[in-house]
Structure 1
């Protein structure tokens, strides 16, 4: 796979005439795949997957549809590869901090999350919009896998090994709120990002307060957060 393929040779050597694309520079297989995935993420992030065609991706990447098919086999395979790339990039940003108390660690995690949202807007939008309507198959596994790992990270920063049902529902609803807020911020950007991050920290404290009223096991977690979060 390290050598240039026949399809890519033909694409690169196509004579440039009127309306023809300029000759492409020679790229490694991995680099060419990265370019195609990046182009796909931009499109999938802006539109629903069913509204994006292989021709759209080929045009955005400045290549031929034959080359896209050569690397990915079809749109579903390309869509899965694009979402997996976005998921891997997001998870790489979210390595938990071990310094400070729960609120400080939560704030650091949100900062890293919004770094990804801001720097990889199309990838984030494509990833979030990959569910829940498309929860079946590989797409569902990728999207739900990211959310499951986010739940694990939040549990780790709260130092919870196994949440009860009330805490689990509370944390999963908070993660869904983070996604919704991030999409809203990307669309409007009329609230300072740091303010948004602080709102989400406050939101965590508030939702744990509600949960504590339904499950006494949440009370120590809330007290720990409130003691650090108090002005």
Structure 2
């Protein structure tokens, strides 16, 4: 199963994944032959960005997840999907976690950002703002796009580990591609059952460093009572990179 998934994504990602993902993959002890050894992955990560990969049986409680990230430990599922889950499973497995996330952890910006997210998650939970912060993770670490000279490129693990969403996210005319804005993202719901209706794009990964160092408290105050947006909404205030047709999700609703 690992070999099937690895080879399929390796064919799809060139020209669609961002440079940082491609570089991270080249520098890791990872290939199609076998599921990577977590100790070897951790050794490579530790030398580059001080991260390590730790095995978990599945989804872990929020406190545990944030505690791991805050201390530069990335929790990875220790199971792999079954053949009938080749294209989609709701609970992240070892392919999603290792193939999707670990290459980007070789990038110092992403490494610092995800650690800051773990620290921020512990605070957000105490403030009752976890749902808002989770949307930031979703639309960046999981389903983020970044602008390169050649066009939109993938850095989010949820896209990078999915064959169908890899193509859909950067080439299909259906989804919206919007300029990333922190408060806009915090107010936007997302899809967990299908492709995203909107993707938020950074001009540069370095923008995530700003998010790693800002004080979220006043942001939470502003968004706490603000209205929320559906995944496919496009606002007059949005910086629109690509206005989607919505064709894909409209067809699903009719069906």
TM-score (norm 2): 0.26
Higher RCO structure (Cα 8 Å, ≥6 apart): 2
Higher strand proportion, which one? 2
Which of structures 1 and 2 has the bigger CA Rg?
1
Q: TM-score, normalization: structure 1?
A: 0.28
